[in-house]
Amino acid sequence: MERLREQFIEKLELAATHEDLQERSEALRDYYHVDHIIYHWVSSKGEQYGCGTYDPAWVQRYLDQDYLRVDPVVIGCYSRFHPVDWKRLDWSGKAARDFLRDAQKHGVGNQGYSIPIRGPNGQFALFTLNHSCDDPTWEAFTDLHRRELLLIAHLFNQKALEFEGEAESGPQKPLSPREIDAMTLLAVGYSRAQVANSLSISEHTLRVYIESARFKLGAMNTTHAVARAMQQGYIVV
């Protein structure tokens, strides 16, 4: 399973088009055996892009009904910086409950886990897993996979930024995908041992990536490198 995950990440890093991201989202759904995988972003210009496995009829209904205004997932994640289980969001209002019933009629599962992402110049994105199962099963699943899902979410966003040209204003010595992975996980508070484990590499190899990124960013130490990587739009948390 670990090798399959590594192969998926490698393929995701090689994605060159929006169609590639759509194919990767379908492959990821099958890998994790969940109902749906969705990536949705809003650029700094207000343009929207999405890929994922929801029924196209539901996607169109969501747009037609302007559910963006009442969707508790979007509203809740916009004010958060960390991954959130849908059960922790506010579904108490009538509009939210009506929205949920309509979503479930269109094949949206009762469980969800969303990772909010903020990019340069006001970009906002969500990476979401959706499934139908009981609470203990879902809690065990998210506990087991939360670290790698964070990495994959940021890889999806990194690719979307590349496609839209948002990443062109970075430094002259661009960070490699693995350097970005390392900086991202350090930025959200992982220890070096946890980062190495999440990336399936040794701590020695991780140290090489960190030192390389530090040199490219002109940083004095690792903390400074993480700060500069965030400032220059390489990583978002």
Cβ contact 162:186 at 8 Å? no
Looking at residue 167, its pLDDT comes to 46
Q: CA-to-CA distance for 15 and 163, rounded, in angstroms?
A: 10
CATH number (domain holding residue 88): 3.30.450.80
Looking at residue 169, its pLDDT comes to 47
CATH number (domain holding residue 203): 1.10.10.10
Contacts of 76 (CB under 8 A, 6+ apart): 84, 88, 89, 90
Q: CA-to-CA distance for 86 and 111, rounded, in angstroms?
A: 7
Q: CA-to-CA distance for 233 and 119, rounded, in angstroms?
A: 6
- Computed over its alpha carbons, how large is the radius of gyration of the chain? 18
Looking at residue 50, its pLDDT comes to 80
195 and 109 within one domain: no
Of 137, 164, 191, at which residue does a domain stop?
164
Output the CA–CA distances (angstroms, integers) from residue 123 to 35, 150, 227, in the order listed. 27, 17, 18
187 and 78 within one domain: no
Q: CA-to-CA distance for 131 and 146, rounded, in angstroms?
A: 15
Using a cut of 0.85, tell me whether the model's pTM lies above it: no
Looking at residue 30, its pLDDT comes to 93
Domain of 155? 2-164
Of 136, 164, 192, at which residue does a domain stop?
164
132 and 18 within one domain: yes
Give the distance from CA 155 to its chain's centroid. Answer: 7
* Residue whose entry in the numeric block shows the structure tokens 């004010």: 79
Looking at residue 88, its pLDDT comes to 94
Q: Is the dihedral of CA 30, 9, 72, 74 positive or negative?
A: negative
Amino acid at 73: V
Looking at residue 234, its pLDDT comes to 84
Retrieve residue 13's tokens. 């890093």
Cβ contact 125:41 at 8 Å? yes
Mean pLDDT for each 10-residue chunk of the chain (237 residues)? 68 82 91 94 66 92 88 87 92 95 96 86 84 97 90 84 60 77 90 92 89 82 83 75
- What are residue 112's DSSP bridge partners? 130
Count CB atoms within 10 A of the CB of residue 3.
8
Of 143, 164, 185, at which residue does a domain stop?
164
> What is the number of domains present in the chain?
2
